[in-house]
A and B are shown apart, each in its own frame.
Chain A
């Protein structure tokens, strides 16, 4: 029983991490393309950008919904505390996502396309910004009392460090978005995105380096965890792998390869995510509440596990099938094979 009390929260931590990773990866390029659409000059290009997402964006966002539900069910204490602390960033994200989502539908029927273009681009930017601030302040830590309830103030999430994380995340989304567009477009449009991807790769790396330096300096707890075994060995390897991956990405961009930039970017995201996950584990609210304290009753965790066990393969299959059906380059308003 005691083993079960540890095992179940760990399983759910991994499931949540999986959902969050899939969401960041998939909606990441989605939002990145949205942010990039703010800079595109003519209607035809913007139309191509939106068409490249038309069939997949809502499936991508399903992972966010699932993550919210899983967090609520599996770690109710963390759900309550995190949503209290991040009320404003999460609302920035939600309103961003609302405007972005309706822009897809309404733009097609509207005579004033510029309105919905703006809703799409700025909505994507807002969503990414909100997520970045949320991520930044979770890494920083959330002020809680002994029972795990939030005791900070409304604007705790806003400072230069969370701003740094937010800006870096936006750069990361632009990077993965432009590598996705390299895969999906051709000709002049594709050329543009080789340049954008290179620029975004450099700004993302600068942001990531700044965060990596700032976090251990500012946070005592992160420092002691990072510089003691076993994490110190892992965190000696991760930066090396990171440098290698960034190098591979820049090389593939220079050679104007079509498929590899997206793959290298995804691997960079994965590496960053593993790094973050290892720093956070076994906490769900860093350095305050462990997954064991925040977990729901074992019976609830088992019950949910049965459902999610059926759901994950179905969703993954559907997601993959979706990408297979809509593979190939985007041409005009429809998909070419």
Chain B
């Protein structure tokens, strides 16, 4: 549990970091408050150095847990229909078109012997990885394609953000992130803007993997979703779900509208720091004019 909790915790951190980074990059690209936002981008970057690789590692730990406790979810995440026995290498599928009717992948691109390296960092599996066919269709998740691609989108974004972090660190070391030079790195800044919404997409995809992948169970192996559902008439639930969808769509659009408005308006850099008003007052007060009282000869 601690792994999946921290995976979510770092996911929110990473999302916020790249949102702040993307906004900072947008300001720099538009030549506004460059010094201020070059600094904020560097703060984000410093945190991302720790967070992005750690998140990938915690994600790996979570996947190990899934493999151990919820093997059907792992099989669906990898669109794996046949069991790979222990003591042998197994291919890892990079992209595939899963077909549930025939219980195979219609086509796929695989990395030979990849599965052992991904799960256990070695070639041969020490434990068998069970395929979906081991379970009756009623005991394993449907929509394998959705789970498979959601997982790939999530982990793809995780690696992309880590890669962006590495690229940025390289630029930093080369001195290209100084306030004078940073505005010229157009594509670098555009990539950061592009990365701003990716964290949200990764989080959503991760939840799809988690919850669709757990089906048909509400609590894995304990209680089925069908048994856990409330006895409310389906019409009620459909109504409230529709209302939620409508309300949240309105709120989503309003959030984007007001959010972009706040960003376009820009920060007020003249606001005093709370609790430091007095200090600031002293600093900004113009010095009293003291007329030069030396004799006229000395002034010249």
Contacts and interface: CB of A to CB of B under 8 A. Distances in A.
Contacts of A80: 230
B231 A98 contact: no
Nearest to B240: A91
A109 B251 contact: no
B239 to A, nearest CB: 9
B230 A84 contact: yes
A110 interface: yes
6 contacts: A80-B230, A87-B236, A95-B243, A106-B254, A106-B258, A149-B231
Interface majority SS on A: helix, strand, loop or mixed? helix
A87 B261 CA distance: 37
A294 to B, nearest CB: 16
A87 B240 contact: yes
B261 A102 contact: no
B236 A102 contact: no
B269 interface: no
Contacts of B251: 98, 102
Contacts of B232: 84, 87, 154
Interface in A274-321: none
B262 interface: yes
Contacts of A154: 232-233, 236
A150 B231 contact: yes
Nearest to B261: A109
Majority secondary structure, B binding face: helix
Nearest to A83: B230
Contact of A109 (B230, B247, B258): B258
A95 B247 contact: yes
B258 to A, nearest CB: 5
Interface residues of A, number: 17
Contact of A110 (B233, B236, B243, B258): B258
Interface of A: 80, 83-84, 87-88, 91, 95, 98-99, 102, 105-106, 109-110, 149-150, 154
A106 to B, nearest CB: 6
Contacts of B261: 109
B231 A109 contact: no
B1 to A, nearest CB: 15
Nearest to A80: B230
Contact of B254 (A91, A95, A102): A102
Interface string B226-266: 00001111001000100100010001001000100110000
A157 to B, nearest CB: 12
B21 to A, nearest CB: 23
Contacts of B247: 95, 98-99
B232 to A, nearest CB: 6
Given A84-B230, A91-B243, A102-B251, 15 more contacts: A83-B230, A84-B231, A87-B232, A88-B236, A95-B247, A98-B247, A102-B254, A105-B258, A106-B254, A109-B258, A109-B261, A109-B262, A110-B258, A149-B231, A154-B232
Nearest to A154: B236
Nearest to B259: A109
Nearest to A110: B258
Contacts of B254: 102, 106
Contacts of B258: 105-106, 109-110
Nearest to A150: B231
A333 to B, nearest CB: 14
A91 B232 CA distance: 14
A154 B251 CA distance: 28
A106 B255 CA distance: 8
Contacts of B230: 80, 83-84
Contacts of A106: 254, 258
A156 to B, nearest CB: 12
Contacts of B231: 84, 149-150
A301 to B, nearest CB: 20
